[in-house]
Structure 1
Amino acid sequence: MRLAYFSPMPPERTGVADYSALLLPALREHLDVTLVRRGSKRAPRGTDAALYHVGNNPDAHAWIVDAMRRRPGVVVLHDFVVHHLVAGMTIGRRDGHGYLDTMEREHGVVGRLLAHGVLDKRIAPLWESRPEDFPLAWFVLEHATGLIVHSRAVHQLVRAAGYEGPVWVVPHPAWPVPAVEPEHVASGPVLGCFGVVNASKRIPELLRAFADVREANPEAVLLLVGPTSPGFDLDRRLQRLGLDNEGLVREGWVDEGRLWELMAGVDVSVNLRHPTMGETSGVAIRSLSLGKPLVVSDVGWFSELPDDAALKVPVDSHEVETLTAALELLVERDDVRAQMGAAAARLAQQQHDLGRVAELYVAALEEAAGGAAVRDAVLREVSRAAADVGISPEDAEAGEIARRLAEVELGR
């Protein structure tokens, strides 16, 4: 198979670019893959299929959606919520009517009225204030001949949205751990939080919980790594909690090498999220590879992590108290950290192995290439085998066979 591969790539500072830099060489061990030049609106001549990586960032993915509209193909859906992408491809291109129409198509008259409010600057942009309520996923789904997603949660979301094409759940691949010298920023237990510093990463809740943890564990340190979102006043929050002079180490954006050094040096990785856009966290996957215990929000893909590798914090009225208890446990118990870290490393090696993920990609793409012909052939064989043993369509056994076929998305 000759595959046209559409994706942002380094040096673009996106998680999807890092993802493709990891996956692409592994795919090329199985397929003839052509990386499409950024901005190209067409697949190269001579390719048999196209694979489109789509996320919520219009700067990184708008050109990919443009190409997909010309030639539909299999989509790797990195975010279920793509409202920001839609806004960039409509309002950002001076196509307000396109935004109005998209909102009405997916959310009815109320959606159109809200879109008018956004265009007239009477309400805050919905992609900033309420994106999870207006995901606008059909903007992408309507052009997908098949979907690759990274979680059962997103699989359920696309089905609930009415998508009827084939969907394959393929784990996010794990990075091999590079040979780096761990950077230990403190002598005591270090809790690391990596990524953009903003409210949706639950930074306010994390800071409050960590301030409580330090009352009984003054040797604990919180390492915050990543740029601060505009409008998020981190310094004021730190001052109010008494964390501005001690207990916290701050670094802004760092390159890949520095990121690995810092992640390797922490004792616990904290990766909170709400609302979730349906994403899988590359930082969390790196933490698994490093054998670091995780503390995550109990939402989306994060909820699917095994309990022996991740402590999950519900996003509810007791979030800070639950988070405090989770952090205290890991700060105070070396044995728990060791057990969870070992489970995390096993998970990365077994479920997120790069070679295994590449093989799952190839299987999905080959099935997509065969499409209905493959499914029809399987169904014919099942029907013939059932008839050979005397099972008729009216029998209870036939209903059970149909149910099992539906579980693997055959027989629709």
Structure 2
Amino acid sequence: MSVRPTLGVWGPHPGQPSGVASYIASSLPVLERMWHPMHAEHGTDPDQFDQVLYHLGNNDLHHDAFQALAQRPGPVLLHEINILNYYYQAWERLPEHRQRQVLALLSTALGTEIADGDALEAFWRANPGIDPYSIDARIETLVLDAATCVLVHHQRVAELLKCAHPRARIEVIPFPVTPITVTTDPDVRSRYGICPQTVVFGSFGYLGEYKRIEVLLAAWQAWAERPDDALLLLVGAAQYAVSIPADASIRHIDHPDATDFTELLLSVDCAVQLRGPWLGESSGPVSTLLAHHRSAILTDIPTFHPGRPRTNLTHIPVGGNEVELLTAALEFHYRAPKARPRFDPAFHWSAWAQRVTATLTDPRTR
């Protein structure tokens, strides 16, 4: 009887407010076909495993993964392009040499010398018009220098990284999506008191500042002569003090269970998922929408484009007329024909497992 090699997997755990936690939990049973995977706890030594896999994202829930990567180079599944927010949140826990590296990259990107954390805070206060989370400081360099291979979910992301880091080994894997079978739209809608005839728009996932909910709300309220049967759902727990207008056409569904979340995602007539111009790589809700061929209004960033153009997707560029374009898109999708979900097998977990296993067993990855 053959013994499966051990695989240490780092990243957020179930119960933590991170979509990556759910991603990892879903991946472990798939990995068991080839490996003996262990979701590493705080303080786990990465050198005890035959192979490792580091899930890296844009908050300090990933701190243990960053620390393990620093100890043992290995393959990285990069969930976000721009991971500046991780370094901001984990700043006090970073070693001094890492703080200096972050400050050097920010100084170059901002065109001014920033000596320490206090100077960085002073810079943000003096320049409120600069978004500290969306600066392209090439912060990913700190990951790519330690990674034996970087896995991303989109070909355009791989091309961006290869252009900036031609010597890095970048590979593309599908964003895995479990096919969702919705019994009937009226079932999930009725549980929330939504009429079957209502034309429902929805934004899904944790309501963080990066989701730019204020832009969506501004466009919704700017929609002149908005039909009475149009409804906007904000589905997910708020991560900051977002102000939601007291408007009967807007509903916040806080902390839905996993079944309701996925069924609502597919039952809306059109989803609206926004991001900043340089923030975010993987998005579970967006990938689920694309995998099931659902109508959506998306920010025009590389990671929100499918492999081929689709007529039921509208991409909105970030800029001065974003609200106007978004309002027009809402009106267009209100009147557009509605279609039932259908699943694209390219997003299936089996396709993910095949690509990830090939990378993990490649001698160059060790």
Q: Same fold (TM over 0.5)?
A: yes
Residue type of the alignment partner of 2:267: G
**Alignment match, 1:70:** 71
- On the 8 A contact 1:83/1:135 being kept in 2, the answer is no
Q: Secondary structure at the match of 2:63?
A: helix
**Alignment match, 2:93:** 93
How far off its partner does 1:77 sit? Answer: 0.6
Match for residue 36 of structure 2 among 33, 36, 59: 33
Residue type of the alignment partner of 1:122: A
CA distance in 1, matches of 2:332, 2:177: 27
Paired residue total: 351
Q: Secondary structure at the match of 1:165?
A: coil
Normalised to the residue count of structure 2, the TM-score between the two structures is 0.84
How far off its partner does 1:107 sit? Answer: 4.5
Bigger helix share? 1
How far off its partner does 1:44 sit? Answer: 6.3
Match for residue 194 of structure 2 among 178, 183, 186: 186
**Alignment match, 2:332:** 329
CA distance in 2, matches of 1:41, 1:142: 22
Q: Secondary structure at the match of 1:132?
A: coil
- On the 8 A contact 2:205/2:236 being kept in 1, the answer is yes
Most deviating of 101-110 and 141-150: 101-110
How far off its partner does 1:16 sit? Answer: 0.7
**Alignment match, 1:256:** 258
Where does structure 1 lack aligned partners over 5 or more consecutive residues? 239-243, 373-412
Alignment of 1:8-407 (within 5 A): 8-29=12-33, 31-43=34-46, 45=48, 47-58=49-60, 60-89=61-90, 91-93=91-93, 95=95, 98-104=98-104, 107-108=107-108, 113-114=113-114, 116=116, 118-119=118-119, 121-124=121-124, 129-133=131-135, 134-162=137-165, 164-177=167-180, 181-184=187-190, 185-187=193-195, 188-213=198-223, 215-232=225-242, 234-235=243-244, 238=245, 244-304=246-306, 306-308=308-310, 309-333=312-336, 335=337, 337-338=338-339, 342=341, 345-346=342-343, 349-367=344-362, 369-370=363-364
Where does structure 2 lack aligned partners over 5 or more consecutive residues? none
Residue type of the alignment partner of 2:27: L
Give me the identity figure in percent. Answer: 26
Residue type of the alignment partner of 1:192: G
How far off its partner does 1:7 sit? Answer: 2.5
- On the 8 A contact 1:145/1:166 being kept in 2, the answer is yes
CA distance in 1, matches of 2:286, 2:110: 37
CA distance in 2, matches of 1:101, 1:282: 31
- On the 8 A contact 2:154/2:173 being kept in 1, the answer is yes
Residue type of the alignment partner of 1:78: H
Residue type of the alignment partner of 2:16: E
* Pair 1:248–1:93, CA change in 2 (3 A): same
CA RMSD of aligned residues (A): 3.0
- On the 8 A contact 1:118/1:124 being kept in 2, the answer is no
